[in-house]
Amino acid sequence: MASSGLELLWVSAPQLLTGIGRTLGISALAIVFSSVGGVAYGILRNLGIRWVDRVLLVYLEAFRAIPVLVWLYLFFFALPIFLGWSISGFWCAVLVLSLWGISETGEVVRGALLSIPRGQREAGLAIGLGLPGLYGRVLLPQALRRMTPPMINVFTRLIKTSSLAVLIGVVDVIKIGQQIIERTYESVLIYGFLFLFFFFVCYPLSAASRVLERRRSHS
Amino acid sequence: MNFDVDFILTTLPAFIAAVGVTLQVGLIAIGTSLCVALINATIAVFKVPVLRSLVRLYVELARNTPLLIQLFFIYFALPSIGIRISGFASAIIAMTFLGGAYLTEILRAGVEAVPKAQIESGLSIGLSRWQLLRHVILPQAGILSLPALFANFVFLLKETTVVSAVAVPEILYTTKNYIALYYKTYEMLAVMTGLCVLLFVPLSLLLRLVERRLQHGQFGS
Amino acid sequence: MSALIELSGFSKRFGDAPVLQDVDLSVREGEVVVILGPSGCGKSTLLRCLNGLESGHAGHYRFAGRELAPNTDWRQVRQQIGMVFQSYHLFPHMSVLDNILLGPVNVQKRPRAKARQQAETLLARVGLLDKRDAFPRQLSGGQQQRIAIVRALCMNPKVMLFDEVTAALDPEMVKEVLEVILDLARSGMTLLIVTHEMAFARAVADRILFMDGGRIVEQAAPETFFSSPQTARAQQFLEKFSYVENMPKRNAS
C-alpha cells in the first residue's frame, strides 16, 4: 500500500518535479515570446500605419473573442490536418499561449507608449532622431516603467492558463498529479498540492506587481 | 476537402442546447459572484476586523490559482471526503470562487474611488453607515466599476469553456464529443469557432461602447 | 545676403479649416524675427511647419536654398533647425548631459568627448554647468528650459525656433530664459520667436511679424510696429496689452 500524506509527496517528488518543469517550461517560453512579440506589437500599433493597425486589431480581437482553450483545441486538432504538421501538446501549448500572450502584452506596451506625453516624441524628432532612435532611446525607456506592473499581471495569467495544457494531453504537473491519484487515491492531498503550487508561483508575482505600481504612483 | 454541411445541420440542436448551457453556467456564475463581491465589499467598507482579513486571503487564493485546479479540486477531490458534487454544480461553485474574487477587487476599487467629499457630505447630513453605503457609496462605486465589471462578466462567460473538463455539456464539450464520435473535425471546429465569434465579438464591442460612454460621463478621470 | 528661410504662398488646412493662408516670408541669416498674434492665429503652426513637425498643403518652402516638400527627409533638416518648446520636453529618464549629448553623439555621430566639451561650454554660458549630472525632475522650470535651449544649440543649427518658451514658466523664471535668448541674438544667430512678452519682442527683434487668422497681416521694425501699427487688427491686439500695462488706479476720481 502506498504511503500517504507528506510522505507521499516526498516520495513522488522526482515525478512531480518533471511535471513542474514542463508546466513552468511552457509558461517560461510563452513569457519570453510574449515579451519580445509584445514589444514588437506595441511599437507596430503605435506607428500609426492604418493597415498594420487593422491587421493587428483583427489579431487581437480573434484572441479576445475565442477563449484560449478553444484556440488550444483548434491548433491541436487543426494544424495536423491543415498543414500536415504533427505538433506535440507541449509545443502547441507554447505556441497558443505565446500568440495569446503577444496580443495581451502588446496591448500593455501600446498603452504605455500612448501614455507618454506627445511632446517627448516631438522633442526627439526635433533633434533629428529617426524612428529606431526615437523608440529605442526616448519612448521605450520611458514606457518600460509604466508597463512593468501590467506585464507582470499578464505573465501571471499566462502561468495560470498553462494549466489548460493538460487538457490536450501534455504530461504536465497536473497530469502527473492525476497519475499519482490513480495509484494512491490521495486526491485531496494532490489537488491541494497543485493548488498551493500555483499559488506560491503566482502570488509573489502579483504582490511584486502591486508594490511596483504603488511605488510608481508615489514617485 | 468536402465540407459536410448536412452533418452540421443535424448537430445544430445539440449546439443550441450547448449554448444554452454556456449561458446558464455563465449567467448563474456572474450572479453568484456578484453577490459574493457585494458581501465582501460591505465587509471592506465597514472594516469588519476578522472577516476583512479572511476576504483578503480569499481574494489572493482565488486570483492566483487556475480555474481548472479549483474545478478539479471540487469535482475530483471532495468526493474522497464524502462530498459528491455534480459537474454542473462544481462548475458553478468553482466559477463563483474565481469570479467572486475578481469582482470583489473591482468593487473594492470602485468604493475607494468614490470621492471622500461624498462621504463627508453624507455624514454631515446625518446618514448612518448603512444608509451611506446604500445611497451614496454603492451606487457611485457601481457606476465607476461598470466597465470593469462588464469586462469581467465577459471574461467569466469565456471561462465556461474550461468546465468542459468536468463533462458539462457546453460548447467545447459538445464539439469534442462530436469529433470523437463522428470524426468530422473540420466541421465541428468550424461550428465551434463560429459560435464563439457570434457570442463573444458582439459582447466585446458592447464592452467597448460601455467603456467609452462611461468615460465621457466621468469628470476628472 | 541670401535668405535662409523662404516661404511663398504657404498654406495649410486642418480638415476644412484653413490654418495658414498664403504666407510669404523671407528670413535672412542673422535676423531675429518675432511673431506675434492672438491665440489660434497660426503662429505656432507656422513654426512647426518649418521643421516638418507639421506639413503644409500648398505653396513653397525653401531652406538654405533647398526646396523642402512635405515628403523631405526631415531628419537632415532638423539637425540644422533647432526647436525649443513651451513645455521644454527634456527626456526625464536621462541626466542633463545625456539629454544634451543624445543628438550630437547618436544622430550627428560626433565623438563624445568633443561634443561633451561643447555641451559644457554652453552649459557654462547659461550658468548651469553644475547641473550637468542632475535629472530634469530635480530642476526648476526655468532651469529646464535653459537646458532645452542648450540641447538644441548643441546640434549647431543654422536657425533656432522658439515656440512660446516662457509661457509655461513662473514669472520670476522668465528673465533667466529671455536673457539666454537675447545673448543668442547678440551673437548673430538666426532666430524665429513666437512669444507674448511684448517688451522682450521690442528689445530683441529685428522685425515683427503680426499674424491673424493664418495670415501675416503686418510686418514692420519693432519701433514702428509698437508705436504706430498700420492695420486695425494690430491696433486692437496691442491695445489689449497696453490696457493691462496702463490700468488706472481703482479709486481715481
Query: Residue B218: what pLDDT?
Result: 42
Q: Chains touching chain A at 3 or more Cβ pairs under 8 angstroms?
A: B, C
User: What average pLDDT is seen over chain A?
Assistant: 91
Q: How far is CA A41 from the centre of its chain?
A: 15
Distance of alpha carbon B161 from alpha carbon C207, whole angstroms: 73
- Would you say residue A1 lies in a domain? no
Write out pLDDT tens, residues A8-23.
888 888 989 999 999 9
Are B77 and A74 within 8 A, CB to CB? Answer: no
Are C53 and A137 within 8 A, CB to CB? Answer: no
Domains of chain B: 25-167 (1.10.3720.10)
Q: What percent of chain B has pLDDT over 90?
A: 47
pLDDT at A1 > cutoff 50: no
pLDDT at A218 > cutoff 80: no
In chain B, residues with a C-beta closer than 8 Å to the C-beta of A191 are 69, 72-73, 76-77
Q: Which of C51, C53, C91 sits opposite A138 (nearest CB)?
A: C91
Are B200 and A64 within 8 A, CB to CB? Answer: yes
Interface test with C, best of A115, A116, A127 (most C CBs within 10 A): A127
CA distance A118 to chain C (A): 9
**What's the number of CA atoms in the CB half-sphere (13 Å) around residue A24?**
12
Are residues C82 and C157 in contact, defined by beta-carbon separation less than 8 angstroms? yes
Are residues C22 and C7 in contact, defined by beta-carbon separation less than 8 angstroms? no
Are residues C32 and C204 in contact, defined by beta-carbon separation less than 8 angstroms? yes
Q: Are strands C58-63 and C190-194 parallel, antiparallel or unpaired?
A: unpaired
Q: Which residue of A has its CA nearest to B160?
A: A67
Are B172 and A203 within 8 A, CB to CB? Answer: no
Are A138 and C87 within 8 A, CB to CB? Answer: no
Backbone phi and psi for residue C106, each to the nearest 5 degrees, phi listed first: -90, -30
Q: What percent of chain B has pLDDT over 70?
A: 96
In chain A, residues with a C-beta closer than 8 Å to the C-beta of C44 are none
**What's the number of CA atoms in the CB half-sphere (13 Å) around residue A181?**
20
Nearest of C24, C85, C103 to residue C58 by alpha carbon:
C24
Write out the residue range of the structural domain in which residue A126 sits: 6-218
Write out pLDDT tens, residues B86-139.
989 999 999 999 999 999 999 999 988 888 888 787 777 777 778 888 878 888
- Return the minimum-mean-pLDDT range out of A5-9, B180-184, C244-248: C244-248
* Cross-strand pairs, C218: C210
- Would you say residue A113 lies in a domain? yes
Write out pLDDT tens, residues A177-206.
999 999 888 889 999 999 999 999 999 999
A78 touches chain B (CB under 8 A): yes
Query: Residue B143: what pLDDT?
Result: 84
- Would you say residue A93 lies in a domain? yes
Write out pLDDT tens, residues C196-238.
888 899 999 999 999 999 999 999 999 999 988 889 989 989 8
pLDDT at C55 > cutoff 80: yes
Write out pLDDT tens, residues B189-203.
888 999 999 999 898
Q: Give me the amino acid identity at C172.
A: E
Query: Residue C247: what pLDDT?
Result: 79
Length of chain B: 221
CATH number of the structural domain spanning residue A19: 1.10.3720.10
Are B189 and A174 within 8 A, CB to CB? Answer: no
More confident position, B159 or C73? B159
Are A129 and C107 within 8 A, CB to CB? Answer: yes
Mean local confidence (pLDDT), C59-76: 88
Distance of alpha carbon C142 from alpha carbon C145, whole angstroms: 5
**What's the number of CA atoms in the CB half-sphere (13 Å) around residue C74?**
23
In chain B, residues with a C-beta closer than 8 Å to the C-beta of A181 are 76
Query: Residue B113: what pLDDT?
Result: 87
Q: Which of B70, B80, B164 sits opposite A185 (nearest CB)?
A: B80
Backbone phi and psi for residue A189, each to the nearest 5 degrees, phi listed first: -60, -50
Domains of chain C: 3-245 (3.40.50.300)
Please report, for residues A98, A137, A139, A141, C137, the alpha-carbon distance to residue A40 in angstroms, rounded to integers and kept in the order given: 13, 15, 13, 14, 30
Write out pLDDT tens, residues A79-130.
877 777 778 889 999 999 999 999 999 999 999 999 999 999 999 999 989 8
In chain B, residues with a C-beta closer than 8 Å to the C-beta of A97 are none
pLDDT band at C39 (very low <50, low <70, confident <90, very high): confident
Nearest of B207, B210, B178, B172 to residue B25 by alpha carbon:
B172
Interface test with B, best of A24, A57, A68, A70 (most B CBs within 10 A): A70
Q: Which of C53, C92, C107 sits opposite A128 (nearest CB)?
A: C107
* ipTM of predicted complex: 0.90
- Would you say residue A19 lies in a domain? yes
In chain B, residues with a C-beta closer than 8 Å to the C-beta of A187 are 76-77, 79-80
pLDDT band at C252 (very low <50, low <70, confident <90, very high): low
Q: Chains touching chain C at 3 or more Cβ pairs under 8 angstroms?
A: A
Residues 48-67 of A with CB under 8 A from B: 61, 64-67
B vs C contact (3+ beta-carbon pairs below 8 A) = no
Query: Residue B120: what pLDDT?
Result: 80
Are C75 and A130 within 8 A, CB to CB? Answer: yes
Give, to the nearest 10 degrees, the angle between helix B5-46 and helix B171-182. Answer: 150
Are residues C150 and C126 in contact, defined by beta-carbon separation less than 8 angstroms? yes
Q: Are strands C58-63 and C66-67 parallel, antiparallel or unpaired?
A: antiparallel
How many domains does one find in chain A? 1
Q: What percent of chain C has pLDDT over 70?
A: 99
- Return the minimum-mean-pLDDT range out of A104-108, C105-109, C114-118, C132-136: C105-109
Query: Residue C1: what pLDDT?
Result: 53
pLDDT band at C143 (very low <50, low <70, confident <90, very high): very high
